[in-house]
Amino acid sequence: MELQGCTMLGIWILALFLLNTAEGKEVCYDRLGCFSDDIPWSGTAERPIHKLPWDPKKIDIHFLLYTRENPDVFQEISAVDAATIDYSNFNASRITRFIVHGFVDNGEENWLSDMCRRLFTVEDVNCICVNWKRGGRCQYTQASNNVRVVGAEIAYFINTLMEKYKYSPADVHIIGHSLGAHAAGEAGRRRPGIGRIT
């Protein structure tokens, strides 16, 4: 009788645990909207651990602009402070290519900036490296949730270009590697009309 009672107690505890994890939580950030830990982000066989993305400040996302005028030294620009775009070499008559690194990668002087320099040999573009290394150098489950905020920030940046410069999202190409490809997809989901995602 005592063993049966322990079994029933265990079943009730498990049921309460499962109900609690199925509930879902959400976090909201001013400019970017809300993010939940519901399916498909967690609660599936592939993603059993419930995680929410970090705050954008903790992820520490930077937009580093390279152009033919500054192929070796980036200019940091921000959609939150659009004056940084005004004072940069950003040119609204050019195509803009965002390059987004992946998990445990470095968003500064590495293959991203090298890729920009290689692009300049064949075309005159705004090349923006998206550095989110602080949000990508954590435990993988957390990093894979942080890409949602990275994608939302890219979409916000494109929205700012549209509003301030009458820039067409069709002139944007987002290139993502590894988890950076997921960030690119999230940006595309949030900002329809992006010309290309690779």
* Mean pLDDT, residues 111-137: 95
Backbone φ/ψ region at 11: left (φ over 0), alpha (ψ -120 to 50), beta: alpha
* Domain ranges (residues) in the chain: 55-197
CA–CA distance, 73 with 135 (Å, rounded to integer): 23
CA–CA distance, 104 with 52 (Å, rounded to integer): 19
Q: Which tokens belong to 31? A: 């400019």
Q: Using 50, 70 and 90 to split pLDDT, how confident is the model at 16?
A: very low
CA–CA distance, 129 with 175 (Å, rounded to integer): 10
Backbone φ/ψ region at 75: left (φ over 0), alpha (ψ -120 to 50), beta: beta
* Residue with the larger pLDDT of the pair 157 and 105: 157
pLDDT, one tens digit per residue, over 24-53 is 699 999 999 999 998 888 888 888 888 999
* Mean pLDDT, residues 137-142: 90
- With 80 as the cut, is the pLDDT of residue 17 above it? no
CA–CA distance, 82 with 167 (Å, rounded to integer): 14
User: Angle 40-41-45 (CA atoms, 0-180°, nearest 5)?
Assistant: 65
Q: Using 50, 70 and 90 to split pLDDT, how confident is the model at 125?
A: very high
User: Can you give the pLDDT at residue 15?
Assistant: 46
The amino acid that residue 197 corresponds to is I
What is the C-alpha radius of gyration for the chain, rounded to an integer number of angstroms?
Answer: 21
- With 80 as the cut, is the pLDDT of residue 169 above it? yes
Strand partners, 97: 127, 173
pLDDT, one tens digit per residue, over 73-114 is 999 999 999 999 999 999 999 999 999 999 987 655 589 999
* Mean pLDDT, residues 176-182: 96
Phi, psi of 98 (to 5 degrees): -95, 135
User: Can you give the pLDDT at residue 52?
Assistant: 95
- What CATH architecture applies to the domain 55-197? 3-Layer(aba) Sandwich (3.40)
What average pLDDT does the structure give for the chain? Answer: 89
